[in-house]
Amino acid sequence: MPRIASIPAALVCGVAALVCAAPEAGADAADDCMPPPPGLVQDLYDWIGANSDYEVAAAKADPPEIIFCIEGEEVPYGAKTTMISPREMGIFDFEERRIYLVAPWRVEVPRDVGVLLHELVHDVQFLNRDWPCPGATEIEAYKLYEDWLAEQGVEIELNWLMIYMWSRCPRDIHPD
């Protein structure tokens, strides 16, 4: 289990709607989503391994559980629950190795697959090294997300200032 200094409940490792475009239309409920084919998850891990310094064999051998949820739903997150906000498209629960994909999610929509890739990056990050806080993983995960989408011919604009803010760990401000 990775060591994490502080786990703020509000800071979940997930893809937020930082893309400056409206989401594609799709299913209305998580029940209408088809799970990603196992080959896709393996291919995305291969891409992560080829485009980063991370070892992906352990993740490929035992991928995390993938669950669909909807906006406004409360989902287990570690020992607590978190509510899926309108800005979230996916969340990675690093304690349980569980990915929540927010419906609508469709395998034929590159941005949706990019969300899965982003969450798989988090899985690989936590399997490979210790992090001072969950948010510290975000800049790298978003960069890989952006690179993968560019390879698919999808241009996006990310709010890098917001991503930077999410990636900062809470500081211990108490004097000695």
User: Would you list the DSSP string of 56-107?
Assistant: -HHHHHSPPEEEEE-TT-EEEETTEEEE--TTBSEEEETTTTEEEEESS--T
Name the phi and psi angles at 68, rounded to 5. -95, 145
| Residue 16 DSSP label | B
| Beta strands 80-83 and 90-93, pairing class | unpaired
Cis preceding linkage at 104, omega within 30:
yes
- Cα(112)–Cα(36) distance, integer angstroms: 10
Pair 36, 117: CB distance under 8 Å: no
pLDDT value of position 9: 29
- Residue 38, classed as helix, strand or coil, is helix
Q: Is the pTM of this model over 0.75?
A: yes
pLDDT value of position 87: 85
Q: Taking the chain (176 residues) in consecutive chunks of 10 residues, what is each chunk's mean pLDDT?
A: 34 39 42 81 98 97 95 90 90 95 94 97 96 92 96 92 88 56
pLDDT value of position 174: 52
- Residue 13, classed as helix, strand or coil, is strand
Tokens 């927010």 appear where? 102
pLDDT value of position 146: 96
